[in-house]
Amino acid sequence: MAEAVTNNEIRANVYKLLSLCYQQPDEDLGDIVVSLAEQLCKVYLELAEPAGKLVQQLPEDAAAVQQLQVDHAKLFIGPFDLLAPPYGSVYLEEKRKVMGDTTMEVIAAYQEAGLQLDENFKEPPDHIVAELEFMYFLIFKELQGEATVSRQKRFLERYLQPWAEPFCRKIIENAATDFYKITAEITRNFIRQDLELLSR
Amino acid sequence: MPNYAMVIDLHKCAGCGACAIACKNENNVPEGIYWANYIHRTRGKFPNVRYEFIPTLCNHCEEAPCVKACPVGAMHKDENGLTLHDPSKCIGCKACVVADPYGVIYFNEEKPHEFWYDKEEAIEKITSSGQEMGKNYDVPFPYYNPDRAKTYAGVRPKGVVEKCTMCDHRIKEGKVPYCVYSCPSGARVFGDLDDPNSEVNKLLNQYSYFRLGENFGTKPKVFYIREF
Amino acid sequence: MKLSRRSFIKASVATGVIAAGAGGTKPMLQALAENSGKENKQVSEGEWRPTVCQGCTTWCAVQVKVVNGRAVKVRGNPHSKANNHDGKVCPRAHLSLQQVYDPDRIKTPMKRTNPKKGRNEDPQFVPITWDEAIDEIAEKFLELRKNNEPHKFVLMRGRYTYLREILYGAFPKLIGSPNSISHSALCAEAEKFGSYYTEHYWGYRDYDLRNTRYVILWGADPLASNRQVPHAMNVWGEVMDRAKVAVIDPRLSVTAAKADEWLPVIPGEDGALATAMAHVILTEGLWNKSFVGDFVDGVNRFKQGETVDPETFQENLTYGLVRWWNLELKDRTPQWAEQKAGIPAEQIIRVAREFAEAAPKAISWLSPGTSMQVRGGYAAMAAHALNGLVGSVDNVGGTIRSAKYPTQAIPSVEPFMDDIAKAGNKHHKVDQRGYKEFPALKKGKSGKGVVTNRLADAILDEDPYEVKMAIGYWNNFTFSCAGASRWEKALEKLPFFVHITTHPSEMAMFADIVLPAAHHLYERLGYIESKANTISYIAMNQRVIEPVWDVRIDETEIPWMIAEKLAEKGFTNVLDYFKSIKDPETGKTPTNSWEFSEYVLKTMTQPIWDPAIKTEGDQFSGWEEFKKVGIWNSEPYKFRNKWKDFGTKTGKFEFYSETLKAALEHHAEKHNTNVDDIMKVTKYQARGELAFVPHYEEPFRWGDEKEYPFIFVEHRSRLNREARSANCQWYQEFKDVDPGDERWDDVAKINPVDAGKLGLKTGDKIRLKSPTGEIECTAKVWEGVRPGTIVKCYGQGHWAYGRIAAKDFKKRMPRGGNNNELLPADYERLSGSTVRHGGVTRVKVEKL
């Protein structure tokens, strides 16, 4: 029991930190990545190595920061022909549609959990940042004693995992920096493992 | 900043007018005013006849004569290359209408959507009037689209001009203009001219294109490829 | 208050625990925010709800965007795999917003107080309650039943959903009337005749457009009308990239304008082109040898004018090729066809050749244009037979049918029919089907098909008997039937007429009671079956907004209300039957009209949504999920399944139709005569065995060429919601999307050569006169029509329906003129189909 709780804390932390990794890179990035590595090496041993590499990829100067920012923009911001569109509906709906039906279902899932999009968050609701954060939120609620495991599983299985795979693949194929390639690899493997865990 | 443009593939265009109708729907455009429209012509002699159909809209010109003509800055270019209009500044002088060589700017002579304020009934007590139907709803008319009001007057008042905004309210939310979304044949493509990988650039590289009134020096941002 | 990200990270690094929500700590959110009880903004901005658009016979699955209870937009249902890829839908769907919110809709039941009926009589309608209206209707039914004449009641159906099983199927039977009369013969029964008597398929075909390499369109204009419109529009760019398109149409339709070949045939001469194309395919040895077979020695004996010994040819999946050649095709040269059809021989040859060379990925696409002609049955067969010649029937890139629709029937009414009902049902149907001159050979049986338009004559002549009462729903026969003025007379005569309608239509003006109907796209329940893109689908009409007025569903709620009233008055059978239809989930008996509607719908669609019933295609976890998605899609069509056995008399694709022969002989026998006599009374020229093969017939036209110099051609509008959208502003504002037409007007298109002779210019007011009627409209001088023809779109000319459709509703002044007042009431009698194409009438033009 105690172990499960510990794991839930780490799971929550990892989801939250991964979510932060997909936001626009700024001066916090170092803290985020270091924390992520710390968390992963406690339980997810095979992810410790890439996490370590990720720390090594942290930008050391302004030019490197800018390079990361450019890569981030090309991958995720656009506005057109993003190299790795960070929205679920693009992968889940036929013909790469944004704000498709799955988007509506994601909104419904948030609503059911008592959430809505933050008004300062200007992205579609099925953005990777929001969906990872939502997993964090559900596990957080679980830690607080609310039973959310089935909701975690349903959300992960139906909405996040199916598109996380092709999304991460696109990053790995198209990113200019190793930083995002590794982030994608960690994301993909973590989500895969987590779904296995929940499916047990 | 993006530099928005539209490519219309006339080979795919079915000449159905869904763009023009959907535009009225999206933008609450009153009767007699057409943000999206079309021109058609028939040439040749029977049986060697050609019918052509060209959908039209504001060209969002790089060198927009309407913007230059506007004395109060109501008609203006935004940072994304769109030609937009601010009805709160508009004094209704119609200088833009005169300057516009494409005839896509319209002046609201009358109170818009008068139909929904009219009291006439086809059959007394059996059918309703525009006003009676309209009263059921707390919006200007029953199928009024509230999204339009996010960036522009939901309905433009009498005494000012109005025109296509390339659905700037939708673009801001990552959507394409409604005429693009609603085109049943997928003939319209919207995108960033400055992005070499955008779909519009791909099409403009692949096909030769023309623009309306090339010789006006307006540098229109609506491009036409292939033949109807 | 939110922590900044920095402090959040710092805290985490310090404690090693971010999430540890030790009691009371709040989760740290950036993208999301806890809902403070307010509705989520995104959702309050609207929701897309699924339903069906029945603006044309495509029957698209659509979604309506509903914002605060208002319908704001319509798009295709993205779950559709057939017609509405990516939410695409044709322009008609948008117009529906102006129908449902039309101020001219009827908002309450109403009753006529002026007993005199006529176009120029003011009915003096007054509002009444639903209860009063239903009471009066129930009384009339009881009176008919008391007098043992319930068969003198007629149910007239126009457009429908499959919940027709109640009002059109069960209800009249339970009352005691066999007279459920559908509109189908106004639609295109003659077209189905073409595919039935060749490949035994009585239905509209689907086409594998994505794989085709050649398309011949026989008057079809798939970018604008006919079936599967959005799908055709969606793929047409690709189709034209990959395939050639040839359009046979006297007018330059939009599809013709974009096509590789336009063959502006002289109206009614389609059969000449089709038989000549078959002639070319055979003489040039281009038929599909594996499908059709070949000469035993491989030497082509199909030579112009020469008969062929059947023994020399070994047929495979077809039947009667050599007999067809000998009886008909051997003399049907392209040069001969050029004289008849006015199309250059070399163009006929080119189209035939390229079509056959592209085959079997080739489509010969039937439409009403080629078939709804007095002698159009055989032209339809000939055009469809081309698919047989090149082996494109039921084949990839060719012409196909539909997958199975997994629905189930409602319970039988038999146990609930009393003696009066049983006796009433024994009467012959009133529309004269099966009369000697109206064989109506639907599915091979004499008198099985409907002859909708004859109902007016049946009422007027009391032949076969008097009609005392009728209910009409979702129809407007006074407007939509050729020879429309007969309908005005018939309805004047009809003693008691109830009309269920959304609008004050031309037909409603003759009604004794008018009941306001729920709009099919927004306010009702129902379901439809349709197909496109090799996918068959079932979609549900749903109530996506609260109805604007006090309306009811025509097919289920109104019969339920009548049934309740009848039960109150002592006749309980109808209600007893209705109550036998339970909720398939809970077993509950319906207690009101809405529950009843829902249970019927659930029962009929149960195999789709009930996971316990195994079906192919889309799967659902239950009723709620099916409702939410709104559409079931089949598996893609399985090609060549029919090749094993087409179902014809011979099992083969028949060029010599043993199936038609049997049907005609049976009909002749029934009337103690022979097939030649049947040919004669049905206005056909064929005698002998020619009656059993696709063949050329001269066009039949009303009017003498000297007095009426022009051939009249009518066509469809891409904005017509079956002639119900003319009261929409957008319809009028964009009417010129029909090539040659004008905004806010109704024009007759005339070639400049003819206009010059008559001294006409665009905008002149003119009168068109046929031997049976006349209308006024505006002249439009246009090159897109053949000299010698007058071409006019159907849909305008309403003298009622609303204040936009009519130029002056109160004065009954039409906007333009209704083509059906010009067209004579004539028929393709073998199918029962009404006729409006092929230049059925000549007209003269007078300048006003």
Q: What is the pLDDT of residues C574-584, one digit of tens each?
A: 999 999 999 99
Q: What is the mean pLDDT of residues C161-189?
A: 96
Per the structure block, which two tokens stand in for C77? 């249902």
Backbone angles phi, psi at C521, to 5 degrees: -90, -25
Which residues have a Cβ under 8 Å from the Cβ of C808 and sit 6 or more positions away? none
Q: List, for residues C772-809, the tens digit of each pLDDT value.
A: 999 999 999 999 999 999 999 999 999 999 999 999 99
What angle in degrees, to the nearest 10, is found between the helix axes of A178-199 and A2-21? 150
What are the pLDDT digits (tens) for B55-73?
Answer: 999 999 999 999 999 998 9
DSSP string for residues in C254-320: HHHHHSSEEE-PPTT-HHHHHHHHHHHHHHTT-S-HHHHEEETTS-----TT----GGGEEESSEE-
Give buried/exposed letters for B14-50 (b at 16+ CB in 10 A, else e): bbbbbbbbbbbbbbbbbeebbbbbbebeeeeebbebe
For residues C650 and C732, state if they share a domain. Answer: no
Coil/strand/helix, residue A193: helix
Q: Is A99 on the interface with B (CB under 8 A)?
A: yes
- Whether the pLDDT of residue B16 is over 60: the answer is yes
**A196 contact B CB<8A:** no
A129 and C30 within 8 Å at the Cβ level: the answer is yes
pLDDT at A80: 62
Identify all chain B residues contacting A124, using CB atoms and an 8 Å cutoff.
Answer: 174
Ranges of beta strands (E only) in chain B are 4-9, 37-45, 48-56, 75-77, 83-85, 106-107, 161-162, 188-192, 209-210, 222-225
Please indicate if any CB of chain B lies within 8 Å of the CB of A113. no
Inter-chain residue contact A23 with C33, CB threshold 8 Å: no
Residue type, A192: R
Confidence of residue C41 (pLDDT cuts 50, 70, 90): very low
The DSSP output letter for B150 is G
Contact A23 C42 (CB under 8 A): no
- Residue C65 belongs to some domain of the structure: no
| Shortest alpha-carbon distance between residue B86 and chain C (Å) | 24
User: Each residue of C593-606: pLDDT tens digit?
Assistant: 999 999 999 999 99
Confidence of residue C39 (pLDDT cuts 50, 70, 90): very low
Structural domains of chain B, with CATH: 4-225 (3.30.70.20)
Size of interface A-B (CB pairs under 8 A): 21
- The tokens of C702 are what? 């009303």
Chains that touch C (3 or more CB pairs under 8 A): A, B
Find chain A residues with C-beta within 8 A of B175's C-beta: 98-99
Structural domain including A153 reads 2-198
Measured between CA atoms, how close is B103 to chain C, in angstroms? Answer: 17
The parent domain of residue C241 ranges over 204-400+643-656
Closest CA to C839 of C250, C366, C338, C218: C250
- Please report, as a single letter, which amino acid is at residue A56: Q
| CATH code for the domain in which residue C367 is found | 3.40.228.10
The number of C-alpha atoms within 13 Å of B123 and in the hemisphere containing its C-beta is 27
pLDDT of C94-113, one tens digit each?
A: 999 999 999 999 999 999 99
Q: Look at B143 and C257 and tell me if their CB atoms are within 8 Å.
A: no
Q: Are residues C652 and C782 in the same domain?
A: no
pLDDT in the model for residue C25: 65
Contact residues on chain A for C6, CB-CB shorter than 8 A: 27-28, 31
Do residue C733 and residue C647 come from a single domain? no
User: CA C376, CA C14: separation in Å to the nearest integer?
Assistant: 88
- Name the stretches of chain A with pLDDT < 70: 1-6, 78-80, 94-100
Whether the bond into C464 is cis, omega within 30 of 0? yes
Q: What's the confidence (pLDDT) of residue C6? A: 53
Q: Indicate which CATH number applies to the domain containing A143.
A: 1.10.3480.10
Instruction: Report the C-alpha gap between C812 and C797 in whole angstroms.
Output: 10
On chain C, the residues whose CB falls within 8 A of the CB of A27 are 6
Q: Give bridge partners of residue C49 from the DSSP assignment.
A: C64
Give the pLDDT of residue C24.
46
Joined together, the tokens standing for residue C331 give: 């003399």
- Which of B173, B175, B198 minimises the CB distance to A80? B198
Instruction: Inspect the interface and report whether the beta carbons of B2 and A79 lie closer than 8 Å.
Output: yes
Residue C11 pLDDT? 52
C68-82: pLDDT as tens digits? 899 999 999 999 999
C623 CA to chain A: closest CA distance, Å? 18
Tens-place pLDDT, residues C699-730: 999 999 999 999 999 999 999 999 999 999 99
> B181 vs C87: CB contact, 8 Å cut-off?
yes
Instruction: For helices C345-358 and C270-283, give the axis angle rounded to 10 degrees.
Output: 60
Chain C residues within an 8 Å CB radius of A129: 30-31
The closest alpha carbon to C748, from C265, C270, C251, belongs to C251
Does the beta carbon of B132 lie under 8 angstroms from any beta carbon of chain C? yes
Q: Same domain for C227 and C372?
A: yes
Q: Could you tell me if C242 and C374 lie in one domain?
A: yes
Q: Tally Cβ neighbours within 10 Å of residue B196.
A: 10
DSSP C105: S
Strands C526-532 and C513-516: unpaired
Q: Which two tokens stand for residue C527?
A: 């379901």
Mean pLDDT of C315-339: 98
Residue A122 has what pLDDT? 77
Q: List the C60-67 sheet strands across, edge first.
A: C47-53, C60-67, C70-76
Q: pLDDT confidence of C12, banded at 50, 70, 90?
A: low
Number of C-beta neighbours around residue C709 at 10 A: 17
Would you tell me how many other CB atoms lie within 10 Å of the CB of residue A197? 14
Chain B stretch 110-169, residues whose beta carbon is closer than 8 A to a beta carbon of chain A: none
pLDDT at residue C42 in the model: 38
Q: pLDDT tens-digit profile of C419-463? A: 999 999 999 999 999 999 999 999 999 999 999 999 999 999 999
Residue C737 has pLDDT above 70, yes or no: yes
Looking at the structure, tell me whether residues C728 and C649 fall in a common domain: no
| C-alpha to C-alpha distance for C742 and C644, rounded to whole angstroms | 51
Of B51, B121, B184, the CB nearest to C90: B184
Q: What is the pTM of this model?
A: 0.82
Within-domain flag for C783: yes
Q: With bands split at pLDDT 50, 70 and 90, how would you rate the model's confidence at C682?
A: very high
Q: What is the DSSP string of B68-94?
A: HH-SSS-EEE-TTS-EEE-TTT-----
Query: Mean pLDDT score of chain C, rounded to an integer?
Result: 95
* Residue B52, min C-alpha distance to chain C (Å): 8
pLDDT at residue C617 is higher than 50: yes
Number of domains in chain C: 2
What pLDDT was estimated at residue A145?
A: 80
**Residue B2 near residue B81, CB atoms below 8 Å:** yes
Residue C67 within a domain: no
Q: Residue C742 belongs to a domain with what CATH number?
A: 2.40.40.20
* C262, C374: one domain: yes
Are C276 and C265 in contact by the 8 Å Cβ rule? The answer is: no
Q: Is it the case that residue C139 has pLDDT exceeding 50?
A: yes
**How many whole angstroms separate alpha carbon A158 and alpha carbon C391?**
45
Q: Residues C278, C395: one domain? A: yes
Total count of domains within chain A: 1
Chosen domain end from C628, C656, C684: C656
Could you say which of B32, B141, B146 has the minimum Cβ distance to residue C67? B146
Selected residue of B7, B46, B118 to mutate for chain C interface (largest C Cβ count, 10 A): B46
Residue C407 lies in a domain: no
Tell me, yes or no, whether C147 lies in a domain: no
Q: What are the phi and psi torsion angles at A117 (to 5°)?
A: -70, 140
Contact criterion met (CB below 8 Å) for A80 and B2:
yes
Sign of torsion, CA C288 C292 C293 C294?
Answer: negative
Secondary structure class of B63 (helix, strand, coil): coil
Do C243 and C378 belong together in one domain? yes
C315 and C215 both lie in a single domain: yes
Residue C471 confidence (pLDDT) above 80: yes
